Amino acid sequence: MWQFEDFESFTGPDEKRFPEFTAERRREMLDEVHNALNRVFLDDQPLSRLLDEDCLATKPLFLTKTALPLRTSPVQRGAWVVETLIGRRIPPPPPNVPKLSDDEKSSEGLNIQQQLAKHREIASCASCHKKIDPLGFALENFDVIGGWRENYRALKEPKPSQRAKLSDGPAVQSADEWHGVGPFATFQAFRDLVKTREHLVAENLAHQLATFALGRPPGFADREPLKTLATQAREKKTGMKTLVLDFIGSVVFVGP
């Protein structure tokens, strides 16, 4: 479900720009996620931890996997929040979509926000991008390997006697509006909005559990029972262990 099984061999970030992304750092990221999920899955701590104390959207592992070698990717990060965390499907992009730059700016000097603004002027792109781009921009204060930043990295080469500083570039702009949910001015405000979607995260977990256990996607008749299981987990403040036990005794698994 979380799609991080291959992270031990993941080498996405550019090694010259991000030399701190070492094998040891990669292992630390993986251990951090394992520990966070174990608290919810094995220790039966509340599902809300996935959005609160152990907020998965801010884990460096997921932030790194949804970035590009040289820059962050608001599109991939936003899509991860929508599809993996919340469980809402996003259709594939239409053919012949203009390519975004590989680095912070395009050859025309446009930053990623400006490039995506042009994407949203394309009718076939606008409906999806307005749903996913703001969620990705909300995470822009996290760089390619998940480190917090207030400014973008300067793209111009420093003098031989100098070293490029993270503060050399323009300030990160993370304010936007989550379509259908509300505006946010900072990442912290966005995180508060994410917490209001806890019911969707719980329902997504129940759906994924059913898919794995049944060997097929849940059908229409399974929707309400699964929603009830998710609601019970939230109200009882239980974790995945209780959700599994409740599921195997439910009509979805044993039948009517």
Same domain, 47 and 174: yes
Same domain, 73 and 104: yes
Establish if 48 belongs to a structural domain.
yes
Residue type, 98: P
Same domain, 173 and 209: no
Same domain, 100 and 223: no
Establish if 159 belongs to a structural domain.
no
Low-confidence stretches of the chain (pLDDT beneath 50): 162-164, 166
What b/e readout covers 161-183, taking b as 16+ CB neighbours within 10 angstroms?
eeeeeeeebeebebebebeeeee
Task: Please give the tally of structural domains in the chain.
Answer: 2
Same domain, 23 and 92: yes
Same domain, 131 and 40: yes
Can you tell me the distance from the alpha carbon of 103 to that of 229, in angstroms, rounded to the nearest whole number? 44
Cβ count near 38 (within 10 Å): 14
| 102, 71 Cβ separation under 8 angstroms | yes
- Residue 157 CA to its chain's centroid (Å): 31
Same domain, 103 and 177: yes
Establish if 187 belongs to a structural domain.
no
pLDDT in tens, 102-128: 998 888 888 888 888 888 888 888 888
| Sign of torsion over alpha carbons 216, 220, 221, 225 | positive
pLDDT in tens, 5-22: 889 888 899 999 999 999
What's the confidence (pLDDT) of residue 47?
94
- Please tell me the pTM assigned to this model: 0.90
**16: number of CA atoms within 13 Å, CB side?**
2
Same domain, 202 and 120: no
What's the confidence (pLDDT) of residue 152?
85
Establish if 170 belongs to a structural domain.
yes
Can you tell me the distance from the alpha carbon of 6 to that of 30, in angstroms, rounded to the nearest whole number? 10
Establish if 193 belongs to a structural domain.
no
DSSP assigned state of 157:
P
Residue type, 225: P
The residue range of the domain holding 238 is: 198-254
Question: Under 8 Å CB-to-CB from 145, ≥6 apart: which residues?
Answer: 13, 18, 20, 21, 25, 60, 63, 64, 67
Establish if 30 belongs to a structural domain.
yes
Establish if 147 belongs to a structural domain.
yes
Query: Radius of gyration of the chain from Cα atoms?
Result: 20
Both structure tokens of 227: 């929603």
